[in-house]
């Protein structure tokens, strides 16, 4: 090899090493930004493990309690229950007079028996009134009264504690509370109608319908609360990513963005708020041909990701030194000289070809 060819070869090797460094740096940046959301193993285990959901919605509060009725909270719960069932969750729905504090806790305990410790997903959804009293947040169940919410309401801490007792690996709360209907006059009740600052719970992710101190709204043209309307749209596929999965982060981003846009157009303020543990992301649904997003909804075949991703060790990719594109790049970098393994020669002898 003459001096000129040696120089070209050295230059090619230098460019090759730079490309490796660039690819490594790009991967590190991608992981730093959180774009690598979960591993194939995590996706597979999620698909195999049990998923349960307790769904609660109250529109009809008794007059004696002092809480105004809502238009769509029970409809929210029924629609959410159907959607989660279509996604493969075991679901229990409690609405109106069936949604007492004791009933909710009992159903959570009974359904939680399906889960194995450190496995599975427990999702809790609530639609109705919500209050804060002395730094504690309460969900207004059927028997609740704002006059003594600390005794009649269901403390959010109690819900989280019951979820923790199951040992579920993924614990998710979706809370559409602190409602106020702008089309109905005289609906306000005494006391604080918004949640106070929430102490983040380890192992739990929570998406509130509005920031602390704010209110959430329901609209007749949607037939749901604004927050729940976009929750349902997100779970039906609007929040899915290219890998065919919907995670908590995907859903939170989609819902937050669209609720804020809707509220802005309506000249209101409603900003969904995320609380909980932030290490990693929780899967909510993986999409396959046999597991569509919702009942009766099928997508084109190229929409679906593999239901069980193959481990890296099983992928039969060509070795880098047998990839013709690599050597083509080397030829360009080296000024027309490529050093490659002759793929038609089983001996593996190196061949130099000058174009």
Distance CA 130, CA 139 (A): 5
Helix (H) or strand (E) holding 333: helix 324-333
Mean pLDDT of 257-276: 92
What pLDDT sits at residue 131?
87
Axis-axis angle for helices 226-233, 248-265 (nearest 10): 140
Distance CA 212, CA 287 (A): 33
What pLDDT sits at residue 4?
62
Distance CA 111, CA 91 (A): 8
Which distant-in-sequence residues (6+ apart) come within 8 Å of 187 by Cβ? 68, 180, 181
Predicted TM-score (pTM) of the model is 0.69
Distance CA 140, CA 205 (A): 21
**% of the chain at pLDDT higher than 70:** 60
The first and second tokens of residue 248, run together, are: 């908590």
DSSP at 301: G
| pLDDT for residue 190 is more than 90 | no
Helix (H) or strand (E) holding 285: strand 283-286
Contact 108, 125 (CB under 8 A): no
| pLDDT for residue 186 is more than 50 | no
| pLDDT for residue 292 is more than 70 | no
Contact 173, 164 (CB under 8 A): no
Among residues 201, 206, 169, the alpha carbon closest in space to that of 51 is found at: 169
What pLDDT sits at residue 311?
31
| pLDDT for residue 295 is more than 50 | no
How would CATH label the architecture of 40-303?
3-Layer(aba) Sandwich (3.40)
Least confident of 49-53, 112-116, 200-204: 200-204
Distance CA 255, CA 234 (A): 7
Distance CA 24, CA 228 (A): 41
Among residues 258, 262, 261, 268, the alpha carbon closest in space to that of 183 is found at: 268
| pLDDT for residue 2 is more than 90 | no
Distance CA 28, CA 32 (A): 6
Helix (H) or strand (E) holding 207: strand 204-208
Per-residue pLDDT band at 239 (split at 50, 70, 90): very high
The first and second tokens of residue 325, run together, are: 């594109």
Mean pLDDT of 253-274: 94
pLDDT in tens, 300-323: 333 223 222 223 333 344 554 555
3-state secondary structure of 93: strand
What pLDDT sits at residue 341?
35
Domain parsing of the chain, residue ranges: 40-303, 317-354
Between 99 and 296, where is the model more confident? 99
What pLDDT sits at residue 7?
65
Contact 258, 271 (CB under 8 A): no
Least confident of 150-154, 185-189, 262-266: 185-189
Least confident of 100-109, 190-199, 214-223, 299-308: 299-308
Between 182 and 118, where is the model more confident? 118
What pLDDT sits at residue 242?
84
What pLDDT sits at residue 183?
41
Between 189 and 335, where is the model more confident? 335
Contact 256, 208 (CB under 8 A): no
What pLDDT sits at residue 277?
64
Mean pLDDT for all residues in the chain: 74
What pLDDT sits at residue 73?
95
């Amino acid at each position: 090899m003459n001096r000129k060819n040696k120089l070209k070869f050295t230059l090619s090797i230098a460019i090759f090493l730079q490309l490796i460094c660039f690819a490594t740096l790009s991967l590190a940046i991608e992981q730093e930004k959180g774009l690598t959301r979960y591993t194939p193993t995590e996706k597979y285990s999620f698909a195999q493990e049990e998923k349960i959901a307790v769904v609660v919605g109250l529109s009809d509060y008794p007059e004696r309690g002092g809480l105004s009725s809502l238009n769509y909270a029970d409809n929210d719960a029924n629609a959410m229950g159907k959607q989660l069932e279509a996604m493969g969750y075991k679901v229990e729905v409690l609405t109106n007079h069936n949604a007492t504090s004791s009933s909710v806790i009992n159903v959570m305990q009974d359904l939680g028996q399906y889960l194995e410790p450190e496995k599975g997903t427990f999702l809790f959804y609530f639609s109705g009134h919500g209050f804060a009293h002395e730094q504690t947040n309460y969900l207004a169940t059927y028997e609740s009264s704002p006059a003594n919410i600390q005794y009649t309401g269901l403390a959010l801490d109690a819900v989280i504690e019951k979820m923790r007792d199951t040992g579920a690996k993924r614990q998710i709360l979706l809370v559409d509370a602190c409602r106020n209907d702008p089309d109905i006059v005289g609906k306000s009740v005494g006391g604080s109608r918004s949640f106070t600052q929430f102490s983040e719970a380890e192992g739990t992710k929570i998406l509130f319908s509005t920031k602390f101190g704010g209110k959430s709204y329901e609209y007749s043209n949607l037939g749901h609360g604004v927050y729940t309307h976009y929750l349902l749209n997100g779970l039906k596929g609007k929040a899915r990513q290219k890998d065919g999965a919907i995670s908590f982060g995907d859903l939170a981003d989609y819902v937050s963005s669209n609720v804020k846009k809707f509220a802005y157009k309506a000249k209101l303020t409603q900003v969904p708020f995320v609380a909980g543990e932030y290490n990693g992301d929780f899967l909510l649904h993986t999409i396959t041909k046999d597991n569509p997003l919702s009942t009766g909804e099928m997508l084109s075949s190229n929409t679906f990701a593999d239901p069980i991703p193959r481990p890296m060790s099983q992928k039969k990719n060509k070795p880098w030194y047998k990839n013709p594109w690599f050597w083509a790049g080397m030829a360009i970098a080296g000024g027309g000289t490529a050093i490659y393994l002759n793929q038609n020669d089983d001996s593996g002898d190196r061949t130099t070809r000058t174009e």
